[in-house]
Amino acid sequence: MTDPFKTVLEMQKAMVEGWMHSAEHMMSYWRHWIDLQERLVHQATAFHRGHVEIDDGPSFTGKYGKRRFDIDPERDV
């Protein structure tokens, strides 16, 4: 007759090994996702504009293209 405890222990061992493999894959996916997020944030900080002159309203010293809602087609496209 077969030992019921041996089969139960083998089943539990197989379940734990499967759980460990799935947890390992999940952690590697999370690590990859965090690396991608870090690259995205680095890219966003690397290509930002350092200084943008924004005029607050109409004035004698205000220039076209430097007001809040004006765009520069050569720079903003």
For the chain, 77 residues long, give each residue's pLDDT as a single digit of tens.
678 899 999 999 999 999 999 999 999 999 999 999 999 988 887 777 666 666 566 666 666 555 656 666 676 65
Q: What was the pLDDT predicted at 25?
A: 97
**Collapsed DSSP state (helix, strand, coil) of residue 67:** strand
**Any residues with CB less than 8 A from the CB of 70 and at least 6 apart, and which?**
64
Q: What was the pLDDT predicted at 32?
A: 97
DSSP state of 11: H
Place of tokens 């004698």: 60
Q: Which two tokens stand for residue 66?
A: 């430097």
Q: What was the pLDDT predicted at 2?
A: 78
Provide the 10 A C-beta neighbour count for residue 70. Answer: 13
Query: pTM (2 decimals)?
Result: 0.50
